[in-house]
Structure 1
Amino acid sequence: MTAPLHGMRVIESSAFVAAPLAGMTLAQMGAEVIRVDRLQGGLDAARWPVTDSGASLFWAGMNKGKRSVAIDLSAPEGVELMAALITAPGPGAGLFLTNLRGKGPLDYPALSARRADLIMVSVIGTRRGEPAVDYTINPGLGFPLATGPAGMTEPVGHVLPAWDCITGQMLVGTILAAERHRLRTGEGQLAELALKDVAAAMLGHLGIIGEVTVNGVDRPRHGNALYGAYGQDFLCADGQRIMVVGLTDRQWRGLVKVTGIGPALEAEGLELRGEGDRWHARDRITAHLAPWFAARTGAEVARLFDAAGLTWGPYRSFAGAVAEDPDLSEENPMFARVEQPGIGPYLMPGSPVAWSGFARRPPAPAPRLGQDSEAVLAEVLGLGSGQIGALIDRGIVAQA
């Protein structure tokens, strides 16, 4: 089955979220992604969530569709194998993705000396090279102090590693841009992306830095209200909580029409034409809407809102979402039940992209550690079975 990135080969040395997510995304678009790990597995090999037997569901999720090679990277011979894989010839090869900065033979100067057109894309913590992760960067940029109920003083951390997720997708774009440049010029290069810079850039892109420096506003907590427009959560008669958004004029007019609060708002003489107007009047709007929701079940609200094409969504737990949302089931062509070695069959997502020129590729399982060691060494480096067998016997390479 052909795919957009068929013919591209990426060597990945990574752990945790951003870089593995980038490699998985490339693999789901058809690239051959070869993950190289230590003999005992990567730093994230046992990361939670795990099964009762200790198999990492996180690792399986982040490495779908890749190939796995296990090498003793503490041995000079193992380091040489790694360097040879990274710099192996081929027009679609010479692409190295990592967040584990190598030294000596595995740093960029040494690798590019072996292959001049090498593209190395590296994730670092801060632009100065200091260690940092999503959960240390986010507190320092202000989001935990702007999240949560109004008046709350304690910080609220976010369970979603947003900067890791965004960085992972930016790494994909960086690799593709660097390869496009290489196709035009023949030049390789090192591209470094700092996790904190991604977060800091988004702080600017979202207008928050401008809000502080131009307006002199340090945004306080506003609970679940949609900042700058109208959006609020409501409790229905059956205990179901939903979020409704009136961001655009069409969304707002539809919400007013379905709930019938127009006359009451007019009686108050409120100016509600713009998003900002509705934001400033949010408490008075909510006071009119809350009784409407409290008198109806979640199912009744869903039926009315869906019929009117309104923008809303229910609050669910993770388990509730998996049990109730058809978009998290095989009804969605992105998903399929996949047999994952060491875990068993369960629902896995493929690529969210639906291409007009390519058939949708079903999700593939993550490999077992070292599953492809023999095949990769033979195919990429041209080693014979005797050479590979000797490497395995000496403990330089492991084959699952």
Structure 2
Amino acid sequence: MSGPLHGIRVVEFGTLIAAPFAARLFAEFGAEVIKIESPEGGDPLRKWRQLHGDTSLWWSLQARNKKSVALDLKSAEGAEAARQLAASADVVIENFRPGGLEKLGLGWDVLSAMNPDLVMVRISGYGQDGPYRDRPGFGAIGEAMGGIRYTTGDPSTPPARVGISLGDSLASLHGVMGALMALLRVKTGQGGGQVVDVSLVESVFNLMESLVPEHAMFGTVRERTGGALPGISPSNTYPTADGGFVVIAGNSDPIFRRLMRAIGRVDLADDAALATNPGRVLRNAELDAAITHWTSGLHIDAVLAALDAADVPAGRIYSAADIVADPHYRARGMLLETTLPDGQPITLPGIVPKLSATPGQMHWTGPALGEHTDQVLATLGMTAAAIATASGRTGDAA
């Protein structure tokens, strides 16, 4: 393993999405990531969505480059092995409900006493304190209470969700950002370790732009606006003659003028009242109607060609089929061809962000449950018998 995080050890106590995605990002950039799993089935994500054989294709991505260690955390031996691993780590990432690790003897007070430089990322629904801390929280609830669900969808329909686990993934990104800031403090000698407290709700809320100040000052409640971008004009999703849809962002002043000329509306391009965004917002319906009239008379390829020639930001709405067929994705290394452990070829997403000197790499896909148990626990000086006991394989060694 190599990369900018080479030499960093991360121990993950996580299941499903938030903590595992955060740990995956560490693993992609060279950290040694040890994923602690229950010997009784492991991470439930192994069985989520579409399976190849008996294992989720999502697992092959979410757990790539990780080492799977099966430990029975309810046994004294398993909990002690987990404590020793956590004490040897630079970063611990977990997404238990607050207090869950403490019940296993793996809380911050215990682990930080063993390793004062430890950084612990704690991802939960509502955070480690506050009146809601003990409530169960999933990404969908974070999206609802963080404000994004209320503003998503068409105004004539109930609030919609994005088709991915957005709340969990946003919490993951905030967790990694916080961990790297905390690690920088440790590695530069500015101080010891600390807790990075990440809430699903707050991670979504952090993206909500001017939602709160607009309400606090003017009483404005931002509502659902479909494909439009409220207060910024024109920016919307427009139909084409072949049943497609194109997203057009013509909302800067010079881009707006180029867009209007491209659709044959020089009158609007030269209208002084539309020269800046405030004036365009007042006539947004008129502008959307003009753009729709133009796009609906052309096939999507013709629309995109005309807008590309006019240097106007626009794009078709991609499905998975569009993504894997796109030459730009492939040229950027965003479609990685590899094989699963049984030799089955598979295409996985590439690694983001792109670092010029120390890029992230994929070394292996998601491991088998407990695949690295013996290898990792042996580094703690544990005997084969002790490893078998800690991992719930009591009959494996004597």
Q: How far apart are the structure 1 equivalents of 2:112 and 2:359?
A: 36
Distance change >3 Å, CA 167–CA 338, structure 1 → 2: same
Indicate conservation of the 8 Å contact 1:48/1:58, yes or no.
Answer: yes
| Aligned residue number for residue 301 of structure 1 | 303
| Aligned residue number for residue 281 of structure 2 | 279
User: Are residue 6 (structure 1) and residue 6 (structure 2) matched?
Assistant: yes
| Aligned residue number for residue 114 of structure 2 | 114
Alignment counterpart, residue 249 of structure 1, candidates 241, 246, 253: 253
Q: In the TM superposition, what are the counterparts of 1:375-390 in structure 2 within 5 Å?
A: 375-379=375-379, 381-385=380-384, 387-388=386-387
User: Are residue 148 (structure 1) and residue 153 (structure 2) matched?
Assistant: yes
The amino acid that maps onto 1:310 is V
Deviations 1:338-388 (A, max 9, x none): 212368321112322222222552463111111111111123x13355654
Q: How far apart are the structure 1 equivalents of 2:64 and 2:141?
A: 27
Q: How far apart are the structure 2 equivalents of 1:16 and 1:73?
A: 18
Shift of 1:394: 4.3
Distance change >3 Å, CA 157–CA 389, structure 1 → 2: closer
The amino acid that maps onto 1:244 is I
Shift of 1:104: 4.4
Shift of 1:24: 0.5
Indicate conservation of the 8 Å contact 1:71/1:397, yes or no.
Answer: no
Distance change >3 Å, CA 121–CA 274, structure 1 → 2: same
Indicate conservation of the 8 Å contact 2:71/2:391, yes or no.
Answer: no
Indicate conservation of the 8 Å contact 1:19/1:99, yes or no.
Answer: yes
Indicate conservation of the 8 Å contact 1:349/1:363, yes or no.
Answer: no
Alignment counterpart, residue 191 of structure 1, candidates 186, 193, 196: 196
Give the structure-2-normalised TM-score: 0.88
| Aligned residue number for residue 98 of structure 1 | 94
- Secondary structure of 2:331's match? coil
The amino acid that maps onto 1:231 is S
Indicate conservation of the 8 Å contact 1:334/1:351, yes or no.
Answer: yes
| Aligned residue number for residue 322 of structure 1 | 323
The amino acid that maps onto 2:136 is P
| Aligned residue number for residue 220 of structure 1 | 223
Shift of 1:278: 1.8
| Aligned residue number for residue 168 of structure 2 | 164
Deviations 1:212-254 (A, max 9, x none): 1111111233221122221122222222211111122232122
| Aligned residue number for residue 71 of structure 2 | 71
Distance change >3 Å, CA 186–CA 375, structure 1 → 2: farther
Distance change >3 Å, CA 390–CA 153, structure 1 → 2: closer
| Aligned residue number for residue 205 of structure 2 | 200
Q: How far apart are the structure 2 equivalents of 1:134 and 1:148?
A: 18
- Secondary structure of 1:260's match? coil
Gaps of 5+ in 2: none
Indicate conservation of the 8 Å contact 2:240/2:297, yes or no.
Answer: yes
Q: How far apart are the structure 2 equivalents of 1:13 and 1:104?
A: 12
Indicate conservation of the 8 Å contact 1:28/1:350, yes or no.
Answer: no
Shift of 1:275: 1.9
What is the Cα-based RMSD across aligned positions, in Å?
2.6
Deviations 1:319-348 (A, max 9, x none): x323533344x4332331121236832111
Shift of 1:138: 2.4
Shift of 1:113: 2.5
Q: How far apart are the structure 1 equivalents of 2:256 and 2:331?
A: 31
Indicate conservation of the 8 Å contact 2:256/2:269, yes or no.
Answer: no
Q: How far apart are the structure 2 equivalents of 1:285 and 1:254?
A: 14
Shift of 1:43: 4.4
Indicate conservation of the 8 Å contact 1:72/1:396, yes or no.
Answer: no
Q: How far apart are the structure 1 equivalents of 2:110 and 2:395?
A: 21
Alignment counterpart, residue 180 of structure 2, candidates 150, 171, 176: 176
Distance change >3 Å, CA 397–CA 186, structure 1 → 2: farther
Indicate conservation of the 8 Å contact 2:8/2:90, yes or no.
Answer: no
User: Are residue 235 (structure 1) and residue 239 (structure 2) matched?
Assistant: yes
Distance change >3 Å, CA 211–CA 343, structure 1 → 2: farther
Indicate conservation of the 8 Å contact 2:77/2:386, yes or no.
Answer: no
Shift of 1:276: 2.7
